[in-house]
């Protein structure tokens, strides 16, 4: 019998249950949140919900153990990315087990971590805890870590907040001490439309937008060749990327409006406001004078879509040392993707990213997590249990 076939995770049924709830970011997550709240209540654990402004989404926060101590927070997001246009070989919202792998949307990113944490509730309750365990399960992480901000606003005002946080994003159970920050921006270019035969009398919003995109591409090339660099990241430098562009109505009309979305995924040492400031200066000194010479009503406007701070922990931090011991790892890592960890750290809570699964499987069709990774996640939780018991 293969080794994978002998692995019987205690969290397997919980993983199946959570994957079966299609909590795509554009939809509500209340079915999953209600399930978790009822599950915890069945063990006598009360939880607090923090809803969004529509009431259709919610964060969940719960504490196991003493309420007068900081404790360790296990944080994860409940939302998943869409499956639209992806070539899935199985039902993405039903776990399929094959050859030691669990297929399904969210298996890797990151419902398996949440499922493992929940599956261990009975064990956390079996004996008194000297150090409390907190659960922080959020909404809309995939669209800018939106939900957790509301939860952190409340936690920041509490007399006792978590002393440390472990974010269970997929890192193959390797402790991640740093990740890049992300600043996403939408640029609106407003021009002056006219008949294309009289193009010089108009202000072509698409063409001026293209000049800004070209400038951004130049910034990307400069970062790639000049740095700054941190070899712990892959890629080892700040990246600049334009991902979406819309403008114009017809070929024979000089377009009046155009917008495009771009992002900086920056090293912790790079200031995203300075990066955006450089783009603004280019627009103000090079483009606006030319646009205003034709029509002063034209212009360029920048709108923030989202911003996620980077994470920057030290290898000798007590939390880093704890998570290395819990995971059995002998080294730490850095990643290019963003998480809510930077927001926890910004709130004054030391935070590490460490969870089962491989980020290479995230957001792809036929997403999966290896049963061996689930087993490592459960081993991590058992070691944590030993640390927090009285």
Helix/strand/coil for 367? coil
Residues 42 and 144 in one domain: yes
Residue 52 annotated in active site: no
Residues 213 and 325 in one domain: no
Which residue of the set 27, 31, 68, 79 is catalytic?
79
pLDDT over 90 (residue 2): no
- Give the CATH number, domain containing residue 316: 3.40.630.10
Mean per-residue pLDDT of the chain: 96
- Going by C-alpha positions, the residue among 266, 276, 275 that lies closest to residue 342 is 266
Residues 162 and 196 in one domain: no
Q: Answer with the one of 248, 281, 308 that is the final residue of a domain.
A: 308
Cβ–Cβ under 8 Å, residues 369 and 356: yes
Assign 3 a pLDDT band (cuts: 50, 70, 90): very low
Assign 8 a pLDDT band (cuts: 50, 70, 90): confident
Which residue of the set 13, 46, 99, 141 is catalytic?
141
Domain count, the chain: 2
- Going by C-alpha positions, the residue among 115, 116, 131, 10 that lies closest to residue 63 is 131
User: Any bridge partners for residue 353, and if so which?
Assistant: 167, 176
Whether the CA torsion 108, 112, 114, 116 is positive or negative: it is negative
> Which domain range does residue 205 map to?
181-308
Q: What single DSSP character describes residue 349?
A: -
Contacts of residue 49, defined as CB under 8 A and 6 or more positions apart, other chains included, come to: 33, 37, 58, 59, 60, 61
Q: Answer with the one of 308, 330, 358 that is the final residue of a domain.
A: 308
What is the distance, to the nearest Å, from the Cα of residue 64 to the centroid of all Cα atoms in its chain?
A: 25
Assign 390 a pLDDT band (cuts: 50, 70, 90): low
Residues 113 and 238 in one domain: no
Residues 7 and 76 in one domain: yes
Residues 194 and 293 in one domain: yes
Helix/strand/coil for 222? helix
Residues 19 and 159 in one domain: yes
What is the distance, to the nearest Å, from the Cα of residue 58 to the centroid of all Cα atoms in its chain?
A: 16
Residue 141 annotated in active site: yes
Q: Answer with the one of 274, 308, 342 that is the final residue of a domain.
A: 308
Assign 7 a pLDDT band (cuts: 50, 70, 90): low
Q: What is the pLDDT of residues 42-72, one digit of tens each?
A: 999 999 999 999 999 999 999 999 999 999 9
pTM of the model: 0.89
Mean pLDDT of 368-390: 95
């Amino acid at each position: 019998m293969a080794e994978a076939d002998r692995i019987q995770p205690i969290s397997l049924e919980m993983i199946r249950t959570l994957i079966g709830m299609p909590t795509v970011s554009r939809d509500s997550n209340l079915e999953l949140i209600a399930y978790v709240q009822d599950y915890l209540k069945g063990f006598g654990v009360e939880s607090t919900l923090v809803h969004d402004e529509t009431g259709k989404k919610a964060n969940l926060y719960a504490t196991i153990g003493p309420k007068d101590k900081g404790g360790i927070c296990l944080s994860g997001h409940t939302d998943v990315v869409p499956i639209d246009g992806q070539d899935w070989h199985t039902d993405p919202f039903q776990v399929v087990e094959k050859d030691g792998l669990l297929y399904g949307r969210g298996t890797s990113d990151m419902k398996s971590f949440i499922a493992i944490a929940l599956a261990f509730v009975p064990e956390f309750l079996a004996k008194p805890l000297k150090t409390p365990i907190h659960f922080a399960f959020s909404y809309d992480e995939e669209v800018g870590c939106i939900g957790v901000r509301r939860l952190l606003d409340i936690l920041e005002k509490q007399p006792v907040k978590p002393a440390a946080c472990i974010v269970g994003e997929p890192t193959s159970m390797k402790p991640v001490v740093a990740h890049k920050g992300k600043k996403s921006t939408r640029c609106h270019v407003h021009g002056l439309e006219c008949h294309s035969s009289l193009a010089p009398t108009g202000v072509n919003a698409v063409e001026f937008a293209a000049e800004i995109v070209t400038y951004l591409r130049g910034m990307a090339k400069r970062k790639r060749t000049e740095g700054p660099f941190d070899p712990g990241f892959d890629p080892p430098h700040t990246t600049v990327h334009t991902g979406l562009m819309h403008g114009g109505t017809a070929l024979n009309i000089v377009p009046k409006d155009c917008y495009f979305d771009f992002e900086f995924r920056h090293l912790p040492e790079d200031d995203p406001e300075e990066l955006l400031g450089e783009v603004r200066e280019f627009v103000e000194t090079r483009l606006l004078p030319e646009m205003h010479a034709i029509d002063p009503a034209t212009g360029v406007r920048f709108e923030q879509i989202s911003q996620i701070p980077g994470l920057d922990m030290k290898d000798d931090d007590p939390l880093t040392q704890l998570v290395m011991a819990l995971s059995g790892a002998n080294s730490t890592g850095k990643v290019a993707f963003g998480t809510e960890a930077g927001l926890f750290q910004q709130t004054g809570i030391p935070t590490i990213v460490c969870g089962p699964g491989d980020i290479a499987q995230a957001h792809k069709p036929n997403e999966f997590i290896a049963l061996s990774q689930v087993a490592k996640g459960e081993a991590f939780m058992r070691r944590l249990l030993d640390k927090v018991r009285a």
